[in-house]
Amino acid sequence: FKIEYPDWGRYFVRIWDPNGGAACGKTVYVDWPGWAGQAKREFPGAASLLTFTSDKTNYKVGETAVVTFPSSGIGRALVTIESGSEILDAVWVTPTEQQSQYSFEISPEMAPNVYVSITLVQPHAQSKNDAPIRLYGTIPIMVEDPDSRITPVLEMADVLEPEKKVEISVYEKNGMPMTYTIAMVDEGLLDLTRFRTPDPWRHFFAREALGIKTWDLYSYVIGAYGGKLEKVFGIGGGDEISPVKDLKANRFKPVVKFLGPFELDKGETAEHAFTMPNYVGSVRTMVVAAGYMSYGSNEKTTAVKKPLMLLATLPRVLGPSESVALPVTVFAMDEDIRTVTLKVKANEMFTIKSFQKQVTFEAVGDQVINFELETIKNTGIGKVEIEAVSGQHRATYIIDIDIRNPNPPVTQVFSKKLDPGASYTLEQLLPGMQGSNTAVLEVSSLLPIDLDRRLNYLIRYPHGCLEQTISGAFPQLYIPALIETTDAMNKRITAHIRAALNKLIRFQTSDGSLTLWPGGRSSDWVSSYAGHFFLEAEKQGYALPVGLKSAWLSYQQERAGDWSPDEDSKYNMGLAQAYRLYT
Query: Helix, strand or coil for residue 491?
Result: helix
401 contacts 318 by C-beta, under 8 angstroms: yes
Return the amino acid letter for 34: G
CA 466 to chain centre: 28
Residues of the chain with CATH 1.50.10.20: 451-582
Q: How far apart are the first and last CA of the chain?
A: 82
Classify residue 124 by its DSSP letter: T
Query: Helix, strand or coil for residue 16?
Result: strand
Return the amino acid letter for 332: A
Give pLDDT, residue 130. 56
Classify residue 45 by its DSSP letter: T
Query: What would you report as the CA-atom Rg of the chain, rounded to the nearest whole angstrom?
Result: 38
Q: What CATH number does the domain located at 308-403 have?
A: 2.60.40.10
Please give the Cα distance from 427 to 415 (Å, whole number). Answer: 13
269 contacts 171 by C-beta, under 8 angstroms: yes
Strands 178-186 and 256-264: antiparallel
Helices 466-473 & 524-539 angle (0-180, nearest 10): 30
Residues of the chain with CATH 2.60.40.10: 308-403
Give pLDDT, residue 111. 86
Please give the Cα distance from 229 to 48 (Å, whole number). Answer: 8
CA 580 to chain centre: 41
Please give the Cα distance from 175 to 173 (Å, whole number). Answer: 6
| Residues sharing a CB contact under 8 Å with residue 87, sequence separation 6 or more, in sequence order | 80, 81, 212
Segment 141-175, tens digit of pLDDT:
999 888 889 999 999 999 998 888 999 999 999 99
Three-class SS of 362-402: CCCEEEEEEEEEEECCCCEEEEEEEEEEECCEEEEEEEEEE
Residues of the chain with CATH 2.20.130.20: 149-196+242-304
Query: Helix, strand or coil for residue 275?
Result: strand
Please give the Cα distance from 191 to 228 (Å, whole number). Answer: 48
Specify whether domain 149-196+242-304 bears CATH 2.20.130.20. yes
Give pLDDT, residue 488. 79
Query: Helix, strand or coil for residue 214?
Result: coil
Segment 457-479, tens digit of pLDDT:
776 655 678 888 898 889 889 88
Query: Helix, strand or coil for residue 231?
Result: helix
Dihedral pair phi/psi, residue 132, rounded to 5°: -65, 170
294 contacts 173 by C-beta, under 8 angstroms: no
304 contacts 161 by C-beta, under 8 angstroms: yes
* Helix, strand and coil in the chain, % to nearest 5: 20, 35, 45
Give pLDDT, residue 161. 87
CATH class of 43-146+210-231: mainly beta
Three-class SS of 518-575: CCCCECHHHHHHHHHHHHHHHHCCCCCCCCHHHHHHHHHHHHHHHCCHHHHHCCCHHH
Give pLDDT, residue 222. 55
Low-confidence ranges of the chain (pLDDT < 70): 32-47, 125-131, 216-253, 435, 446-453, 455-456, 459-463, 566-573
Compute CA distances 187 → 7, 184, 278, whole Å: 49, 9, 16
Helices and strands (H, E) in the chain, number of each type: 10, 27
Give pLDDT, residue 441. 79
Query: Helix, strand or coil for residue 509?
Result: coil
Listing from the earlier edge strand, what are the strands of the sheet with 113-121? 58-60, 134-144, 113-121, 76-82, 87-93
Compute CA distances 565 → 89, 395, 526, 559, whole Å: 67, 81, 20, 13
Signed CA dihedral, 457, 458, 463, 467: sign only: positive
Q: Which residues pair with 144 in a beta bridge?
A: 60
H-helix or E-strand spanning residue 142: strand 134-144
CA 115 to chain centre: 32
Please give the Cα distance from 338 to 430 (Å, whole number). Answer: 55
Please give the Cα distance from 158 to 335 (Å, whole number). Answer: 21
Give pLDDT, residue 410. 82
462 contacts 499 by C-beta, under 8 angstroms: yes
Number of C-beta neighbours around residue 555 at 10 A: 22
Query: Helix, strand or coil for residue 290?
Result: strand
Give pLDDT, residue 7. 78
- Report the share of the chain in percent with pLDDT over 90: 31
Global pTM reads 0.51
Return the amino acid letter for 58: N
Residues of the chain with CATH 2.60.40.1930: 43-146+210-231
CB-hemisphere CA count at 13 Å for 192? 7
Give pLDDT, residue 39. 45
Please give the Cα distance from 549 to 197 (Å, whole number). Answer: 42
What CATH fold (topology level) applies to the domain 451-582? Glycosyltransferase (1.50.10)
Segment 98-125, tens digit of pLDDT:
888 999 999 988 889 999 999 988 887 6
Helices 524-539 & 487-504 angle (0-180, nearest 10): 140
Segment 513-553, tens digit of pLDDT:
999 988 888 888 999 999 999 999 999 999 998 889 999 99
Closest CA to 85 of 56, 43, 48, 113: 113
Q: Which residues pair with 393 in a beta bridge?
A: 390
